[in-house]
Every structure is written in C-alpha cells, then in structure tokens.
Amino acid sequence: MTKKRKKLVIDKQFQYSVAVKAVILPLITILLISGVLLYFSIDNDRKIKEINDNQTAIIDTFLSLPQLVNPQNSFTKDANQRFQENLGKSREIQRNIRFVLYFLVIMTVVQTIIIFSLSISLTHRISGPIYVMSQYLKDIRKGKELRLRPLRKGDQFQDFYREFCETINHLLEKKKK
C-alpha cells in the first residue's frame, strides 16, 4: 500500500535551495539575452524614428517645391504612397520588436516558474524518503513501536530504504532476543 502525502514541501531548506539553484542559470541566461535584445531593440527603435523623421523632412521638402505641391501630380502621389508604406512598415517593425521583448519576458517568467515547480516536485521524491526514515529513527529513540511501510511509487532511494528497513528489522529482532 502506498501512502500519498499532501504536503509537497517537506524539507524547505533543501527543496527551495535545489529549486533556486536549478532556476538561476536559465534565468541569468535569459536575462542576458533579454538585455542584449533590449539594447538592440531600443537602438533599432531610435534608428527607425530617425528614418521616419528623415522621410517626413524629405516629403516636406518635396512639397515645398511649387511643381510638386499639386496633390494630383503623379510624382507627389507616388512619393506620398511610398512614404506612407514605409511609415507603416516602420511601425510594424517596432511592434514586432516589442512583441519579441514581451514574449521573451513572459517566457522567462513561465520557464522560471516551471523549472522551480519541477525542482520542488523532484526534490519531494528525495525529501519524502529521508523524512520517513528520520521519523523512524526518532520513534526508535522514543521507544515507540515501528510500523515500517513501503515508500511511494516514484520515490528515490528505494534500494537504500529497503536496506534501512532490513537493518531496522534486524536490530529489532536482535533486541527481542
């Protein structure tokens, strides 16, 4: 019969320590990547703004020429259409850059939570057996009668626990004689 424990964090110091250590390297890596991307994103955003400002100045210059002021002029129409297309593309690039940054930040948070949670879950399979054996040792010192039970399926240290139980049973039998 396997016993299911409801408490996932049994040994806070050990489990949180392992979980934090498991999260640190991926978190630092993602933060460095995010920092580099943020730098280039801000630089690209600045350059795109300069390009847009330059294009606006060019259009304003063209429109100051008397022969181009006429909005029906094919050259003016074409230049204005291209200018509007470029502005739209520039804005789209800026949105894409922001999306990538937001996505990266969200994925960093999600990855950190997942790795932390998995680490807690995995260390639970280590802390559980150690906790059980520690309780048995305390019960022995207090002179309580032991009822050894098997570990849960998936717990670590199954072989060590079997050896531990055999040794406890051997000591108890020896004590009875």
Residue range 7-31, pLDDT digits in tens: 777 778 888 888 888 888 888 888 8
User: What is the per-residue pLDDT for 86?
Assistant: 81
pLDDT band at 68 (very low <50, low <70, confident <90, very high): low
- Asked whether the predicted pLDDT for residue 72 surpasses 80, the reply is no
Q: What is the pLDDT of residues 138-171, one digit of tens each?
A: 998 898 888 888 888 888 888 999 999 899 889 8
pLDDT tens, position by position, 106-145: 888 888 899 888 888 888 888 888 888 899 999 988 988 8
How does DSSP assign the chain, residue by residue?
A: -PPPPS-S-SSHHHHHHHHHHHHHHHHHHHHHHHHHHHHHHHHHHHHHHHHHHHHHHHHHHHHHSHHHH-TT-HHHHHHHHHHHHHHHHHHHHHHHHHHHHHHHHHHHHHHHHHHHHHHHHHHHHHHHHHHHHHHHHHHHHHTPPP---PPPTT-S-HHHHHHHHHHHHHHHHHHH-
pLDDT digits (tens, 9 = 90+) for 74-113: 777 777 788 788 888 888 887 888 888 788 888 888 888 9
Please give the Cα distance from 91 to 50 (Å, whole number).
12
The domain ranges of the chain are 12-176
pLDDT over 60 at 173, yes or no: yes
Rg (Cα) of the chain, in Å, rounded?
Answer: 34
Tokens found for residue 32: 């460095």
Q: Which two tokens stand for residue 6?
A: 């409801």
